[in-house]
Structure 1
Amino acid sequence: MSGGGHAAKAGAHAKHKKGGHEEEEHENHERWLVSYADMMTLLMVLFIVLFAISQVDQKKFAELKNGLAVGFGNPSVAFDGGEASLMESSDSNSPMDLSSGIGGTTSDATAVQEAVQAKERSNASKRQAAAAAEIQNYDKIKAEITAELTKQGLQDQVKYSVDERGLIVTIVTTGIVFNGNEATLLTAGKQLIDGIGPAIAALPNKIEVDGHTNQLTGGTGTYPSGWELSSARAAAVVRMLHTDAGIADNRLQATGYADTKPLYPTTDPRAETLNRRVEVIVLSNLPADTRALLPSASTTTS
C-alpha cells in the first residue's frame, strides 16, 4: 500500500475516535428575521415622516397670515378665518383650491382682495393729500408775488393757473412788457420779473418759461417767424431770472411755441392780446400720478 492510502486510513480512524461519525455544518434558519426587522423599521420611519409632514405648525402659519396682511396694509382685514390647520380645509376649499383664484378658502381670497383695495384707497388718499399740500405751497407763492407786484401797481398784469405741470404765472405781453414784434423787456416788464423772481428763487423746483405769440398775420418784425419771436421773449425772461433773481441756470429753461397753443380762438376778441403772453411755470416735483391730481385739487381748494 502506498503512503497516500495510509494517511487516509489514519484520518478516518481519528474521526472514528472523536465521535464515531462526521458532523455536518449547521444551517441558520432564522436569517429572515433580520430582513423582516429592517423592513418594519423602514415602514415605521416612512409613516412617521408622512405623519410629520401632514401636520401644520399653527404658530408659523399664523405668522405667515399676519405677515401677508401687514404687507397689504390691512392686518385687521386679511385672513380673519382663524388658525385652523390646512388639513381642515381639504375638501371643497383646500389650500390649493384654484376656484378661489389664489389658493386657500374663498373667504381668504375675498379678504385679500379687500386688503388690496384698501391699500389702493390708502395710496389714492395719500396722492390727494400730497396734491392738496402742493396747491397750498402754490397759494403762498401767488400771495408773495401779488404782494410784490401790488407795490408797483402791476398785480393785474399776471394771471395764475395750475395744470399737471405745476403753477403757471401768465404775463400778458402787452405794450408795457414788450414792444410789438420785439423781445426786449420794457421797464414794466422788468418790474414784473423782479416781482416774480424772489418768490420762486429759493424753491427747489425747476422753472420753465414759455413764449407764445398771437395768431394774427401782422408780421414778426425782424424775426423770421413767431417761433423765433416767442423763443426770444422766453429767453429774455429766463436771462433776467438768472441774473437778477439769482436762480441757477440749471433750473431754468426757455421754450417758444409761436401761436400753436392759443388760449382763445382767433374769432374771440381776447385772442389778440391774451394769446400774446409769456408763462413762468413752477414745475412740480411730485410723481406723475400725483401731478395729474393738481388741477382738480386746485379747483377744490380755491
Structure 2
Amino acid sequence: MSDSHDTFPPMIPKRGRKKKHHAVHEEVHEGEGPWIVSYADMMTLLFCFFVIMTSFANFDPVVVAKKSAAIADHFAPDSVMDDLKAYQTLGLDIGGHPNLKGVARSQLKDGTLEIVFSSSLMFAMGEVDISPEFMKSLDVLVGLIKNKNPNYRIIVEGHTDNAPISPKHPYRSNWELSSARSASVVNRFLYYGFKPTQLVSVGFGDSRPIAVDHDKNGEALPENQALNRRVVIKVLKPLKSDKMKNLGIDTYFDDSELVK
C-alpha cells in the first residue's frame, strides 16, 4: 500500500488550465476597450448637444451670436468661419445702430444673413416708393453692408399679405406690388455703388406667409397681415466672378446658391 501511495503523488490543479482560464479572462477584458471608448464619445457629444440647446433656450440675439461664433471656431473650416464671423459682426452692427434698432431684425439662415423689415414701416399703404421717414434707415443699412464688404451679393424679396388689390390700383396683383417694392429697395443699393450683377430683386406676393392672414371664420387678422407684409434683404458672400447664371428655378448666381 505504501509503494502504491508513493507511486501516485497527490493531485494538484493543472496550471495549464488555470492559465488558459486566465488568458480567456484577459481576452474579454481587453476586448471591452473599443466599444467603451465609442460609447463614451457618443455620450460626450450628446451632452454637448443638450448643453448648446439649453444655452439657446433663452433667446438673446447678442448672446446667441457670440455663442455661434465660439462654436464656429471649433467646427467650421476657416473660410466658412470667416464668413460667419463677418455676418455675425454685421448683424450686431445692424441690431445696435440707433436708426435700425427696433426697425430691422437680422438672423443667420442657410449660410446667409437675412435682414427683415416691415413693409408697413417702409411703404405707405399700397405704395411702392420708400417713405421719406424710412429712407434714412435703409440708407444706414446699405452703408453698413457696403462698409463691411462692397462685394457682397444682395437679394431683396418683397412679400405682401393676401388682401386683394383694388381694381383701381396701378398694380394688378400682389405679385406686381411686391416686385415693385423689392425693386425700389434694390435701387438704393445701386445708388450707393453696388454693381447690377450683385443684385437680385424678387417679388413673392402673398405666396410665402409667415402667419395666417385670416382666422377659421374668414375674418382678417391685422397683426398677422402686418407680419406678412415685409421686405427681406439677404446678404450673400462675394463671388470670384461677376457673371450671372441663366435663371433656373430659384437659381440666381453662378455658384448655384438657392433662395429658399
TM-score bucket of the superposed structures, by smaller chain: 0.5 to 0.7
Q: RMSD of the TM alignment (CA)? A: 3.0
Asked if residue 195 in structure 1 is aligned to residue 140 in structure 2, the reply is yes
Q: Which residue does the alignment assign to 2:204?
A: 257
1:75 maps to none
Distance 1:285 1:246 in 2: 15
In structure 2, which of residues 226, 248, 254 is the aligned counterpart of residue 273 of structure 1? 226
Q: Which of the two has higher C-alpha Rg?
A: 1
Q: Establish whether residue 180 from structure 1 lines up as the match of residue 133 from structure 2.
A: no
Deviation at 1:216, TM superposition (A): 2.4
The 8 Å contact of residues 179 and 186 in structure 1, kept in 2 or not, is answered as yes
The answer to whether the aligner puts 1:168 opposite 2:114 as a matched pair is yes
TM superposition score normalised by structure 1: 0.48
* Unmatched tracts of structure 2, length 5 or more: 1-73, 216-220, 240-256
Q: Say yes or no: does 1:224 pair with 2:172.
A: yes
Distance 1:232 1:165 in 2: 27
Q: Which residue, 76, 82, 90 being the options, matches 1:141?
A: 90
Q: Deviations over 1:249-270 (max 9, x none)?
A: 2211111010111111224744
Once the two structures are TM-superposed, the CA of residue 162 in structure 1 deviates from its matched residue by 2.2
- Higher strand proportion: 2
Corresponding residue for residue 103 of structure 2: 157
CA distance in 2, matches of 1:227, 1:206: 23
Match for residue 15 of structure 1? none
Give the CA deviation at 1:283: 1.5
Distance 2:194 2:136 in 1: 17
Q: Matched residue pairs, number?
A: 162
Paired residues of 2:178 and 2:205 also in contact (CA < 8 A): yes
Query: TM-score, normalised to structure 2's length?
Result: 0.55
CA contact (8 A) 1:181 1:222 kept: no
Match of 1:84 in 2: none
Identical positions, percent: 25
- Unaligned 5+ runs, structure 1: 1-124, 293-302
Counterpart CA distance in 2 for 1:162 and 1:281 is 10
Aligned partners of 2:80, 2:214: CA distance in 1, in Å? Answer: 36
Q: Spell out, residue by residue over 1:237-256, the C-alpha distance to the aligned partner (whole angstroms, 9 max, x if none).
A: 0101211x222222111110
SS of 1:233's equivalent in the other structure is helix
Matched residue, 1:207: 154
Equivalent-residue separation in structure 2 for 1:132 and 1:219 (angstroms): 48
Q: 2:126 and 2:87 mapped to 1: Cα distance?
A: 32
C-alpha distance in 1 between matches for 2:130 and 2:118: 12
1:206–1:251 CA contact under 8 A, matched in 2: yes
**1:191: how far off?**
1.4
Tell whether the 8 Å contact from 1:172 to 1:274 is kept in structure 2 after alignment: yes
